[in-house]
């Protein structure tokens, strides 16, 4: 009887110590679009996005060494997002100045708790010009 008890105890201990412990891994932070994000466009230009909790957003296009106060493009808009470990972010900014329209769309292809990757599409229309360009971007959440 002692041999059976020892054998069962050994199996129980082996099973206990061989179990995968998920508690050792850091949890993946859930994506939340709110907050201040800074990064760069594929053109080398800097980009920053401030997303407020009320659904409004401000887009800054800036040189990589400047701050948002000296950004050469500042547009207000609105954003939508989905939360979770694989989030999604979409925002649209448009400024109409007389007969010209400056329109930006920012959309992610991948979003996680602390970073967003995606595409910025810029359309500029005036009486004499219509231009559209797209750039990939990477943004990191600032703390």
Any domain includes 115 = yes
Is-contact 104 90, C-beta < 8 A? no
Residue 117 lies in a domain: yes
> Is the residue at 50 inside a domain?
yes
pLDDT the model gives residue 30: 77
Model confidence pLDDT, tens digit, residues 20-40? 555 566 666 678 889 999 999
Residue 19 lies in a domain: no
Residue in 34, 6, 56 with CA at minimum distance from that of residue 143 = 34
> Percent of the chain, pLDDT > 70?
75
| Kind plus residue range of the DSSP H or E element containing 18 | helix 2-18
Mean pLDDT along residues 40-69: 88
Domain extent, residue 128, equals 30-141
Kindly tell me if the per-residue pLDDT of 122 is higher than 80.
Answer: yes
In a domain, 22, yes or no: no
CATH number of the domain to which 137 belongs: 2.40.128
Express each pLDDT in 65-99 by its tens digit: 678 888 888 899 999 888 665 678 889 998 888 88
Structural domain total, the chain? 1
């Amino acid at each position: 009887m002692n041999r059976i008890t020892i054998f069962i105890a050994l199996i129980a201990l082996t099973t206990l110590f061989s179990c995968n412990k998920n508690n050792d891994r850091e949890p993946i932070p859930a994506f939340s679009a709110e907050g201040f994000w800074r990064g760069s466009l594929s053109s080398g230009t800097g980009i920053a996005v401030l997303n407020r909790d009320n659904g409004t957003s401000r887009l800054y296009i800036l040189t990589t060494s400047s701050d948002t106060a000296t950004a050469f493009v500042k547009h207000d808009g609105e954003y939508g997002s989905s939360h979770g470990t694989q989030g999604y972010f979409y925002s649209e900014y448009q400024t109409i100045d007389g007969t010209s329209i400056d329109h930006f769309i920012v959309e992610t292809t991948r979003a996680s708790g602390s970073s967003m990757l995606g595409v910025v599409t810029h359309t500029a229309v005036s009486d004499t010009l219509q231009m559209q360009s797209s750039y990939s971007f990477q943004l990191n959440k600032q703390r």
